[in-house]
Amino acid sequence: MDFKNPFVIIFIVGTLFSFILDSLLDFINYKFRQKHGLEIPEELNGLLDEATLKKTRDYKNAHYFSDIPYSLLSLALTFALVFSLYLVLAYTKSFDFAKGNSYVTVLLFALAVSLPNALLSLPFELYGEFKIEKKFGFSNMTFSMWLLDQVKALVIGIILGVPLLLVAVALMNHIEHWWFFLGCVYIAFSLAISYIYPVLIAPIFNKFTPLEDGELKDRLLALLEKCGFKANGIFVMDASRRSSHSNAYFTGFGKNKRIVLYDTLIKQLTVDEIEAVLGHELGHFKKHHIIKRMCVMFPMIFVFLFAAWLIIKMPSLYSGFGFKDAASQGSAISGTLQYIGIYLLSLTFGGFSPIFSLISNTFSRRDEFEADEFSAKTCSSGQPLISSLIKLNKENLSEIQVPSIYSIFNYNHPPLLERIKKIKKHSIYS
């Protein structure tokens, strides 16, 4: 390790920045929760009780105290893997075992560097699911169900991820300006996943049944027609098999677009409230939020890949982390090592992700406010939307209000109280 290397310095600074910022924000929110967690704002008088607020506070505290040791161990593991030259060892052993085959080398390296973090997170995931979530009445998981989900996710990840990884290596091996073609492949891959997810991937984990005939279906179909949204059906997902958390969303595109309602949502909300929730989701469609985000993200993919293509040609990126062989190759770095360079680059700058989250969350919260306003206007009143938000917040034990500094970094949806105030401010509450 070369601790004077600029990439190593950026890695250390970024990793510590992310850890300190996240820890500080979590602590600020914890102190705020301890001081104000049992207060009922004027807007929610008679709609929430102290018992629910206490349960919410205890639920969030349980996750907070569980996250502290995980964050510390994760930080220690990250530094240990880098400073011990484990990454270099993983590469050399993978290269030797694969007898120089670039595709096998990259696959083995990807496995070797992902395994330690996966093993570290495993006991915390189990504790969160079977201790915290069960204690507060959310989890309906059995261990066999949880294990089967992990196997399914692993298999799907391999089926989808390995070909994409191999294509990336092939492009790096054979095409000089691979960044452009890899960007095209990644975008096409993302769109393909979005298209097949509702009909091929989601049903592997959950059962989806068409919404039964009745008032709810009639109201939702009328709302879809009013908004000009053509969906391939409205489906109910058996979310209660795993958890009592509730949600609704639309997914897919083209002929595979569909509306999905959690069965828990149908049990918790009235017809008016479910209509308002769907109106919010349709607000994202009518305001073109997804298209706008794509128009920003797709060009950014090419920008980031182009920047990566330039930077991974720098021998100092490799030498700083102990990859002497790559450094000795100068700018003519092989396709296999270019992939290693991409990994080192993500490691180097990954600690600054909170800055990107800050930007992304700012625009996301703006979109949520617009979708709320659209729902209230489309449904002729903000009352059902507000009551649905309060119920969902209560049922999911979500916090009513959090410190603004915490919200801007961690919330892509505005806190409940902000959403209620905004709906009333636009005079769409009745």
Catalytic residues, which ones? 281, 372
- How high is the pLDDT of residue 46? 84
What angle separates helix 143-174 from helix 335-349, to the nearest 10 degrees? 120
- How high is the pLDDT of residue 366? 94
- How high is the pLDDT of residue 43? 83
Q: What share of the chain is helix, strand, coil (3-state, %, to 5)?
A: 75, 5, 20
What mean pLDDT comes out for the span 75-90? 96
Helices then strands (H, E): number in the chain? 19, 4
- How high is the pLDDT of residue 397? 93
Q: How confident is the model at residue 62 (pLDDT cuts 50, 70, 90)?
A: very high
Instruction: Decide: pTM greater than 0.85.
Output: yes
Strands 248-251 and 208-210: unpaired
Tens digit of each residue's pLDDT (9 = 90 or more) over 264-303 = 999 999 999 999 999 999 999 899 998 999 999 999 999 9
What mean pLDDT comes out for the span 201-224? 93
What mean pLDDT comes out for the span 256-264? 89
CA 385 to CA 376: how far, in whole Å?
A: 7
What mean pLDDT comes out for the span 42-61? 91
- How high is the pLDDT of residue 93? 94
3-state secondary structure of 248: strand
Contacts of residue 163, defined as CB under 8 A and 6 or more positions apart, other chains included, come to none
Q: Is the pLDDT of residue 210 over 60?
A: yes
Q: What percent of the chain has pLDDT over 70?
A: 96
Lowest average pLDDT, out of 66-80, 94-108, 276-290, 416-430, goes to 416-430
The angle subtended at Cα 297 by Cα 179 and Cα 376, nearest 5°, is 165
Mean pLDDT of the chain: 91
Half-sphere exposure of 382 (CA within 13 A, CB side): 19
Q: Is the pLDDT of residue 330 over 60?
A: no
Q: How confident is the model at residue 42 (pLDDT cuts 50, 70, 90)?
A: confident
Q: Is the pLDDT of residue 430 over 60?
A: no
- How high is the pLDDT of residue 183? 96
Distance of CA 148 to the CA centre of its chain: 22
Nearest to 7 by CA among 82, 76, 73: 82
Tens digit of each residue's pLDDT (9 = 90 or more) over 306-317 = 999 999 989 899
Q: Is the pLDDT of residue 331 over 80?
A: no
Lowest average pLDDT, out of 198-212, 292-306, 313-327, goes to 313-327
Q: Is the pLDDT of residue 329 over 80?
A: no
